Structure 1
Amino acid sequence: MTVTSALPTARAARVVAHRGASHEHPEHTLAAYRQAVADGADALECDVRLTADRRLVCVHDRRVERTSDGRGIVSELTYEELRALDFGAWKGAAHAGARVLLFEDLLQEALSAGRPVGLAVETKHPTRAGGRLEEELVRVLRRHGLADGRGGLVEVMSFSRGALTRMHRLAPGLPAVYLMERRLRPVRPPYATHAGPGIELVRRDPGLVGRLKAKGLSVRVWTVDEPEDVELCLDLGVDTLITNRPRAVREQVEAR
């Protein structure tokens, strides 16, 4: 694997790599995250689910068909069964052989980056794991001394108000991001300190960013890949851009 390097400089907005540098590499793979770090991403975004044997893995979909050569539901497969699948070949032969990534391995990768690299962790709901998903996430973070929000390295995200409430109960020091896809009327959910509208919402209603900020929420917008969307977000004062193309967005932010 060839990884090129880009060093971050002073910036007005944070750049978060959506499932890693997932435009170049298969999403949620070690290669994607290592490339994102090399590209100067401030933080790495991941989705987490529980396996049948309660291991925390980085997988977006409920099922594995889209991103692997296997079949089945993540929560019904053990970690070893997931490890046997190829999570890279769907992106092309050059990426074949990528394995499912444990959240704890991603955490270790971020901590060993040689500079501060954060994690933006989305707990996926609905899921049969229910609240056990947040419990396992906090358990792993606590083992690394990060469940209290120390250093601001970890933030949790969810479309589920219930999930954010559970996270606050389990780890009240962690910043919480309320993700928004279709809701146009900004509502501050319990315990959220950040709002995460999708770029389509922001395009349709640019004033949403200002209204969210007026409620005391910082704003993270996803998934911002196109140059015109980056410009729109920067013009509106968006705090964080979540993107599949961290290098290109990093360069555009720094050019401003």
Structure 2
Amino acid sequence: MSGPTGGVRFMAHRGASRQYAEHTRAAYVQAIAEGADGLECDVQLTADGQVVLWHDATLERTSDGTGDLHDVTLAQLRGLDVFSWRNADLPATHGTAADQVLTLDELIDLVADAGRPLDLVIEIKHPSPFGMELEDRVLEVLTARGWTPEDGTVAGAPVWFMSFFPASQQHLAKTVPAERLMFLVDVLDEAKLSEGTEPVADGGFDFTDMLRALVAQGLQMVADGVMGGVGPSLQYVKEHPEQVRAWADAGRLVRVWTVDEPDDARVCLAAGAHELTTNVPGELRAALGA
């Protein structure tokens, strides 16, 4: 298991996703070739309940499809072009056009075939129209591949579960040990959040207040040891280095996202970060001499 006592480690953010389209087979094959210490992914459910690697709620940004991800089946998703928007040149080693959409199960196959140790870092995407069925399906996939709470690995890879939503981690904590749970936190952009919103009347719903409450709840869970890791954004580290250091000193694993520039990486390491989630794992490792 990765931890606070080791040297800096590099998690490939949706694969080597600067060179190849995020979450594609090509991006993960490239990340493994570049020497990434782990593979990070976002997971969601398709209309037919398949756990796929996908970040957005919609299809438009990373494919030639339209509409919501939860409205399409895995077969329909596989019929989309999910790679040429980033890099249309696919080496034979990186799969064909038809191979680029990945399920969680297929990512585990890549981990198993890597020929060296890797971490598997899973972000549970919320809000999800499927609610906690998403978490349950992820655990079903992992369990079918030999994962157990006691061992915590699949295909030899330590598995981490991350989310911005405390309820997701509370649900997983019924099964998953605390040392494999991580809360993700970002800086709340007050100006952006309030842009275009009207004042809230007494007793009304305030979205900004809700986000603040979620962050406070998640950080309290980290402090209480319900989660053994915390994943601050790069901007959070820059604005709150003393908090990052406090987490590290308290024995929490600190994994910062998304760090592509060497100078930014050095800022994170100076604050006590143990792991860096990056789109360029090979390039960043070489730049840091790690």
TM over 0.5: yes
Per-residue deviation, 1:187: 2.3
Indicate if the aligned counterparts of 1:36 and 1:247 stay in contact, CA closer than 8 A: yes
Describe the SS at the equivalent of 2:52.
Answer: strand
What corresponds to 2:78 in structure 1?
A: 83
What corresponds to 2:97 in structure 1?
A: 97
Indicate if the aligned counterparts of 2:244 and 2:273 stay in contact, CA closer than 8 A: yes
Per-residue deviation, 1:227: 1.2
What corresponds to 2:163 in structure 1?
A: 158
What corresponds to 2:122 in structure 1?
A: 121
Q: 1:84 & 1:245 partners in 2: Cα distance?
A: 28
Equivalent of 1:22 in 9, 12, 17: 17
Root-mean-square deviation (Å): 2.0
Equivalent of 2:220 in 188, 191, 198: 188
What corresponds to 2:271 in structure 1?
A: 236
Q: 2:286 & 2:28 partners in 1: Cα distance?
A: 18
Percent identity, aligned pairs only, is 39
1:250 aligns with 2:285: yes
Aligned residues: 245
Aligned pairs for 1:1-256 within 5 A: 12-94=7-89, 97=97, 99-148=100-149, 149-150=152-153, 153-172=158-177, 175-182=180-187, 187-189=219-221, 191-253=226-288, 255=289
Question: Tell me, which stretches of 5 or more residues in structure 1 are unaligned?
Answer: 1-10
Per-residue deviation, 1:145: 1.4
Deviations 1:21-60 (A, max 9, x none): 0010000000100110011101000000000000000000
Q: 1:138 & 1:92 partners in 2: Cα distance?
A: 32
TM-score for the superposition, normalised by structure 1: 0.89
Indicate if the aligned counterparts of 2:120 and 2:157 stay in contact, CA closer than 8 A: no
Indicate if the aligned counterparts of 1:138 and 1:171 stay in contact, CA closer than 8 A: no
Indicate if the aligned counterparts of 1:168 and 1:174 stay in contact, CA closer than 8 A: no
Describe the SS at the equivalent of 2:60.
Answer: coil
Indicate if the aligned counterparts of 2:17 and 2:280 stay in contact, CA closer than 8 A: yes
Q: 1:118 & 1:147 partners in 2: Cα distance?
A: 15
Residues 196-205 or 150-159, more deviating:
150-159
Per-residue deviation, 1:173: 6.8
Indicate if the aligned counterparts of 1:154 and 1:174 stay in contact, CA closer than 8 A: no
Residues 22-31 or 203-212, more deviating:
203-212
Indicate if the aligned counterparts of 2:58 and 2:69 stay in contact, CA closer than 8 A: yes
Q: Which amino acid aligns with 1:113?
A: A
Pick the structure with greater CA Rg.
2
Deviations 1:104-145 (A, max 9, x none): 000111111101111100010001010000000000111111
Per-residue deviation, 1:172: 3.4
Question: Tell me, which stretches of 5 or more residues in structure 2 are unaligned?
Answer: 1-5, 91-95, 189-214
Describe the SS at the equivalent of 1:233.
Answer: helix
Q: Which amino acid aligns with 2:28?
A: Y
Q: 2:272 & 2:33 partners in 1: Cα distance?
A: 26
Question: Cα 1:173–1:217, aligned 2, differ >3 Å: closer, same or farther?
Answer: closer
